Amino acid sequence: MLTEDNLADLLNTLGFEKKGTIYRKTIGVAVLEVNFTKKEIIYPETAGLVINERQTCNFEANENFVVLECVHRLLEKGYKPEHIELEPKWKLGRGASGGRADILIKDNDGRPLLIVECKTAGTEFKRAWNKTLQDGDQLFSYAQQISETQFLCLYTSDLDAGALAYTSHIIAHRDNEKYLADNPLFKGFKLVADVKERHAVWRDTYKLDYTTKGIFEENIQPYHIGKDKYSLADLHAISASDQQKKYHEFATILRQHNVSGRENAFDKLVNLFLCKLVDEIENPSDLKFYWKGVAYDTHFDLMDRLQQLYQAGMGKFLGEDITYINQGDVNNALRFIKQNPDATQRAVWNLFIQQKFFTNNDFSLIDVHNEKLFYQNAEVLLKILQMWQDIRLTDPHGHNQFLGDMFEGFLDQGVKQSEGQFFTPMPICRFIMMSLPLASLIQRSATPPKAIDYACGAGHFLTELALQIKPLVETHKPSADLTAYHQALYGVEKEYRLSKVAKVSAFMYGQQEINICYGDALINQHEAFPEIKDGTFDLLVANPPYSVRGFLETLPEEERKAYTLTETINDLETSNSIETFFIERAKQLLRANGVAAIILPSSILSNGGSTYTRTREILIQYFDIVAIAEFGSGTFGKTGTNTVTLFLRRKKTAPDTAAHYRERVEEWFKGCDASKRKQVIYKDEHLIARYAAHINVPLDDYKTLLKGDPNGAWTAHLEAVYLEKFNSSTEVANFKKAKWFKALKPEEQGAEVQKRYLAFVQAIERDKLYHFVMASDQINPVLIIRSPTETKAIQQFLGYKWSDSKGDEGIKLVKDAHGRHLTPLYDETNRDNAAKLNSSIAANFNGSLATVPAALQDVARTAPLVDMLDFSRPVFEKQISTTPQVSVAMVSKWPAERLGALAEVIPGQSPESTYYNDQKKGLPFYQGKKDFGITELLSPTAWTTQVTKEAVKGDILMSVRAPVGDVNFCPLDKICIGRGLAAIRTGDRIDSRFLFEFIASNKELFKGKQGAAFESISATDLREKKVPLPPKNVQIAAAKDCVAVDADRNAAEARMKSAESDLVTNIEAIYSSSAPRIEIDKLATNIQYGLNEAMNEGGVGYKIFRMNEIIRGRMVDNGSMKFADISAEEFAKYKLNKGDLLFNRTNSIEHVGKTGLFDLDGDYCFASYLVRVVPNTSMVLPKFLEKMMNSSAFQIEAKGKASKSINQANINATVMRNIKVPVPPLSEQRKFIAKIDALEEKITKAQAIIDGAAARKQAILQKYL
């Protein structure tokens, strides 16, 4: 607000000249003067300005500075000083004691024109306006005293970052005779008797109408208040702060007027956007999308203008005809009523039919079916229109997230789930676009690359694509017309409402040439957009819908035939895998070498069933998979679906790579001898050899399968994979029961089974070999990006988080102290930043990705596509794993055998929870790693009366999910195990302790598969794991040495516990001594709260300690500290020195009070929820004081005095500084510290033995193996 402190800044901004302590400015004959010595404001009374009271002429009220600024603005505008009167005094209504208006303006005839009431910016202005809305407040009391006043204004102004801004709420205090004639039941200002009635007219007749412009704007002449004509010059661009305010304002309007249909309300808002866009384009100098104020406008006229704008917008932008009958149409129909009444009747009847049957009210936020409801709706509509009338939407500059935020607020979870829709956050849109090889697409093509989003929704991808194309075109094709590149962009959207939004959004970005097709993207031809043709697009990017039940029923039969996926669908009504059809549609639309980025549910890579299997076949056969980016459930806000973004390149189509290799594999399986071209199998032998090596079958042995030899060498290698599956199949069971089979001789039956078994294996191996070859055809490995799983880490990875706080909804970007967006996904200022993930994807598109940068390797890696497919199972569904098995070599001089051949693997199975109990009924129940001790299970905490899978004493129990590989022995006679565990019961050939130690030391060999939520390993996979098998005596010797390590570890733990106990005893001895008790305050030279400053993780500024860096009484730099970007002067105030203590004053009750000693080299500061205590070393040693403050006695007292709330406690510095601790002489403190140091050294040495136990065991096993 304006205050005495910034008054000089205000005067400098206004152009006052300073002489000593006096500021002066001359405007025509008027002189304004401000005297800082006398604290006086001097107005041009000699020029005719009237001042009735002097209270406004001093510095005592901040409101006086607003009055000064307003008077200055009036004089600058051209109002004469003799027509300005300050503080005219009247009685306030009937029986009131009196009051003074701030400013009264008279017209050139001396009649009252305008009353201005000034308020300071912020709370006071808002409070005054709310009071005016409620009962009229001061303005209407003044208007009652001088009723001929035509206008009232509540005014404020303020300096914001050196810029002067004002706000004026202008109320027309004169009747609109046309408005009253249209509404004869309404009362006018002329007929009122008091303030209450005057306010009621404004409230009921004029619906609390006001305008924000009409006095001070450039195109307003003095004494001509109000505007009946608005242009683009009256508009301003939306700002980031406006976005949230507008969202909250919209939601508030709906709530105040009980508008319950949020989706309908948003639809109407989009219609208003469409009207506003066409208005800004078609009527830049005389805008129709404006409420001109009740002095110049009526609801009927406004609605008529909106309907005409909507009709024009739908026709111009979306090619849709909208029926609307305006007054001109009616007048035209009545022209010849006297000459030709029959023709006139037909014309009017035709208009009636159109109006009755062909129209829908495109601006009804509530149902309108009578006059009363019309005005209720008009009131809501007017408020929403006024939200946007001053904003300019046709701005081609900058990224604009507010439309996406609006969607997230109004399209609730139910709509998304039922229709499979969710909207892509702009940071994800940006990341995807910055990952695509846009520069090379633009450079290599003589014409603009043709791009499509076939499920464009709100159009985010298209607008972002256009924004990113712009600088690339300017760089690589400087003479090209950018609009031609926009014309090559196509969006298809099936939902009518969203197609409108997409077009509106394009206009908001100044990209109106983007084509938006309202239609079903799964349909091959679109009449309005013949350019959408198969095989013509260079780029496809989309976030298509998923899980839409019955979607195929809306697709004509002829269109369904275009999809091979249709053959996998049995029931059109229940089929919901719409996302799979969008993948096949991408295959159809893209030309050879065209690129795509498609967001899909993660399940697309792993779901079983013929439809999903066929989808993955399409991916492998027709695309190179350049990258897969897997995002967690927090990516899309309310929608909790885990997603993957597939970055794809279409394979060659002439010749068709998939067809070529399909024919080649068919020839291979005809057998070498059967082929007329015997050289064929040898010509591509390297491909067969690669596959044979991949599945660990010698090439010559595999060739016996190709030749069709039922007894070939292949059987020894593949029998374990296929035989059990073949024998358990329904087909085999059925034909063995058949009469014709039973009639065969035994040797004939054997031959028949053998023939069918060969055909069974060949069919699956043909499929595997073909897809292995297609995957091998992809030269570059797949770049795999996987989001972290912890919430905070996810937010840092994405670079944003979601807020659903009222008035602050939407995406909140993670930024550093300089406002830079922090995310490893991309650099918003440099698409080629090699340290970001988008650059690695782009490099992989171009074949230039050598390695993933070290800083990104926690979330990104590369893998050959063939390693992401599982060729080891008898059922080959082409699941694509984003956690391909890393080939970990097991080096041993002893032969390795399958775990399943050495031990029984018993997978756990959880009973129904209703059978759980804690009354020791039934068997002890163990579920997973949380129940593990060091080598044996902890004591049971749960039991079950329903026993599913059992483990017995001596069994090895392995954690098989989240995490995989940890092992414990079962010490109890019998237990029940849940699905998080598997029991391994060893046979005679392997020692159980040896196996236990081998698994515990080689967990990487037993890694499972990473699902969407956690890692797991199946019993089948576990049985296939290889284990070295030395002679039994070697196993026992290795196990014995490992047991000795455990004995050392246990002894070290005992020593550590003893030292920790002695440490506590020594501290308690101090507390029980006769040493004097002294307050912390008297032991410290300084006690200081920490720095309240935004922190960043970008390494900008100085390292700043937080609570989690207090570890065992010391401040520890753990390598992941945050930074505070502050000046050197500010840092000096908070710089830590050796010997300082940091006390944690705010946290959960168990952590509050923790104290750490700072003894590090380097520059560090500390956060606000820590308190620095600087010990007076002439009285107390820092380490001694740290031990006293961390003692149980001190902590109990401190926590007892803490103020507590839900999940939070606080000990302020005043409380802490008054707590007393025992303080013996310094000589005794030194002796105490010497004892503590010795005990802590014992603890450190013991901890080193404990920490080194695993490495010692690994060395032992390496020696024996």
The owner of tokens 């690669």 is 690
Higher pLDDT, residue 422 or 840: 840
| Cβ(579)–Cβ(545) below 8 Å | yes
Alpha-carbon separation of residue 660 from 344, 500, 564, 616, 1223 (angstroms): 72, 44, 19, 19, 88
- Token pair for 222: 């003095």
Copy the structure tokens of residue 896: 């390795």
Query: Which residues fall within 8 angstroms of residue 679, CB to CB, at 6 or more apart?
Result: none
Residue 575: the pLDDT is 87
In 149-235, the DSSP E strands lie at 151-160, 163-172
Of these ranges, 674-683, 741-750, 1117-1126, the one predicted with the greatest mean pLDDT is 741-750
* Adjacent-strand bridge partners of 983: 906, 957
The Cα–Cα gap between 968 and 1252 comes to: 19
pLDDT band, very low/low/confident/very high, at 350 (cuts 50, 70, 90): low
Q: Band of the pLDDT at 1104, cuts 50, 70, 90? A: very high
Q: Taking the alpha carbons of 1103, 1107, 1109, 1114 in that order, is the dihedral positive or negative?
A: positive
Please tell me the pTM assigned to this model: 0.63
Under DSSP, is residue 73 helix (H, G, I), strand (E, B) or coil? helix
pLDDT of residue 228: 66
Reference 994, options 944, 966, 1029; nearest CA is 1029
Q: Give residue 97's pLDDT.
A: 40
**Coil, strand or helix: which one is 1119?**
coil
**pLDDT band of 94, cuts 50, 70, 90:** very low
- Tell me the per-residue pLDDT of 741-782, one tens digit each, with 9 for 90 and over: 999 999 999 999 999 999 999 999 999 999 999 999 998 999
Q: Is 436 helix (H, G, I), strand (E, B) or coil?
A: coil
Residue 358: is its pLDDT beyond 60? no
Q: Taken in order 432, 436, 438, 441, is the CA torsion positive or negative?
A: negative
Buried b (16+ CB within 10 A) or exposed e, 317-332: bbeeebebbeeebeee
Of 1, 81, 240, the closest CA to residue 811 belongs to 240
For residue 193, what are the contacts with CB-CB under 8 A and spacing of at least 6? none
pLDDT for the residue numbered 861: 94
pLDDT band at 1134 (very low <50, low <70, confident <90, very high): very high
Residue 399: its pLDDT value, please? 44
Whether 1081 contacts 1174, CB under 8 Å? no
**For residue 916, what are the β-bridge partners?**
944
Evaluate if residue 655 carries a pLDDT over 90: no
Q: What is the pLDDT of residues 506-542, one digit of tens each?
A: 776 778 889 999 889 999 988 878 899 999 999 999 9
Alpha-carbon gap, residue 470 to 509, rounded angstroms: 12
Q: Which residues pair with residue 746 across a beta bridge?
A: none
341 pLDDT more than 70: no
- DSSP H or E segment with residue 177: helix 177-182
Residue type, 902: L
Tokens of 476: 């690589």
Confidence label for 1073 from pLDDT (cuts 50, 70 and 90): very high
- Does residue 175 contact residue 209 with C-beta atoms inside 8 Å? no
Structure tokens at 168: 């004026």
The ranges assigned to domains in the chain are 4-227, 244-324+359-392, 418-651, 660-716+744-775, 896-1029, 1076-1223
The CA distance from 117 to 100, in Å, is 9
Please state at what angle helix 123-135 crosses helix 137-145, rounded to 10 degrees. 60
Phi, psi of 168 (to 5 degrees): -130, 125
**One-letter amino acid of 335:** R
Burial 498-507 (b: 16+ CB within 10 A, else e): bbbbbbbbbb
Q: Counting beta carbons within 10 angstroms of the beta carbon of residue 1210, is it exposed (0 to 12), middle (13 to 18) or buried (19 or more)? A: middle
Q: At what angle do helices 240-256 and 371-388 cross, to 10 degrees?
A: 170
- Structure token pair of residue 471: 């600088």
* Higher-pLDDT residue of 363, 7: 7
Partner residues linked to 491 by β-bridges: 453, 516
Judged by DSSP in three states, 50 sits in: strand
**Do 123 and 182 touch, CB atoms closer than 8 A?**
no
pLDDT reported for residue 22 = 96
When pLDDT is cut at 50, 70 and 90, the band that residue 413 belongs to is: very low
Predicted pLDDT at 416? 37
Above pLDDT 70, what percent of the chain? 89
pLDDT band at 323 (very low <50, low <70, confident <90, very high): low
Q: Where are the alpha helices (DSSP H) in 422-556?
A: 426-435, 438-444, 460-476, 482-487, 496-508
Of 403-407, 802-806, 904-908, 1112-1116, the least confident: 403-407
Equal fold, 896-1029 vs 1076-1223: yes
- Give the separation between CA 313 and CA 1073, rounded to whole angstroms: 88
> Is CATH 3.40.50.150 correct for 418-651?
yes
Distance of CA 118 to the CA centre of its chain: 43
Tell me the per-residue pLDDT of 788-808, one tens digit each, with 9 for 90 and over.
888 888 888 998 887 766 655
Mean pLDDT of 210-229: 84
Q: How far, in whole angstroms, is CA 879 from its chain's centroid? A: 28
* Ramachandran area for residue 1064 (φ above 0: left; ψ -120 to 50: alpha; else beta): alpha
Ramachandran area for residue 867 (φ above 0: left; ψ -120 to 50: alpha; else beta):
alpha
Q: Which residue has the higher pLDDT, 1134 or 667?
A: 1134
8 A C-beta contact, residue 940 and residue 975: yes
Instruction: Report whether pLDDT(346) > 80.
Output: no
What tokens were used for 1249?
Answer: 């033995």
pLDDT band at 242 (very low <50, low <70, confident <90, very high): low
Average pLDDT, the chain: 87
pLDDT in the model for residue 458: 79
- Helix 371-388 crosses helix 299-318 at what angle (to 10 degrees)? 60
Residues 336 and 347: their CA atoms lie apart, in Å, by 10
Q: d(Cα 457, Cα 542) in Å, to the nearest integer?
A: 9
Query: What average pLDDT score do residues 102-113 get?
Result: 94
What does the block give as tokens for 453? 């989003």
Contacts of 768 (CB under 8 A, 6+ apart): 691, 871, 876
Is residue 966 within 8 A of residue 958, CB to CB? The reply is yes
Q: Are 1002 and 966 in contact (CB under 8 A)?
A: no
Tell me the H-state helices in 239-370.
240-256, 262-282, 299-318, 327-333, 341-357
In angstroms, the CA 71 to CA 157 distance is: 12
Largest Cα–Cα distance in the chain? 131
What is the structure's pLDDT at 324? 53
Query: In the chain, what are the helix, strand and coil shares in percent, each to the nearest 5?
Result: 45, 20, 35
Q: By three-state DSSP, how is residue 891 classified? A: coil
- C-alpha 491/C-alpha 854 separation (Å) is 38
In whole angstroms, give the CA distance from residue 531 to residue 1042: 72
Cβ neighbours of residue 197 under 8 Å, at least 6 residues apart?
187
Range in 276-290, 350-364, 711-725, 1043-1057 with the lowest mean pLDDT: 350-364
pLDDT higher at 317 or 917: 917
Other CB atoms within 10 A of residue 792 CB: 9
Which residues have a Cβ under 8 Å from the Cβ of 1020 and sit 6 or more positions away? none
Among the ranges given (48-52, 424-428, 575-579, 1052-1056), the one the predictor scored with the smallest mean pLDDT: 424-428
Beta strands 974-977 and 923-926: pairing type? parallel
What is the pLDDT at residue 231? Answer: 81
Angle 496-508/262-282 helices, nearest 10 degrees? 40
Q: Over pLDDT 90: what percentage of the chain?
A: 56
3-state secondary structure of 251: helix
Instruction: Identify which has the larger pLDDT, 4 or 284.
Output: 4
Strand arrangement of the beta sheet that strand 50-51 belongs to: 50-51, 84-86, 103-106, 112-118, 151-160, 163-172
φ and ψ at 463, to 5 degrees? -65, -40
523 or 236, greater pLDDT: 523
For residue 868, give the nearest of 556, 615, 625, 621 by alpha carbon: 625
pLDDT at 420 over 60: no
Residue 296 contacts by C-beta under 8 Å, 6 or more apart in sequence? 176, 226, 227, 228
Local confidence band at 322 (pLDDT 50, 70, 90 cut-offs): low
Predicted pLDDT of residue 438: 96
Instruction: Express each pLDDT in 373-384 by its tens digit.
Output: 887 888 888 888
> 896-1029 maps to which CATH number?
3.90.220.20
Contact indicator for 175, 82 with CB cutoff of 8 Å: no
Q: Categorize the per-residue pLDDT at 180 as very low, low, confident or very high, splitting at 50, 70 and 90.
A: confident
Tokens 């010497």 belong to which residue?
1234
pLDDT band at 11 (very low <50, low <70, confident <90, very high): very high
pLDDT band per the 50, 70, 90 thresholds, residue 318: low
- pLDDT for the residue numbered 220: 87
Mean pLDDT in residue range 619-643: 86
CATH topology of domain 1076-1223: Adenine-n6-DNA-methyltransferase TaqI; Chain A, domain 2 (3.90.220)
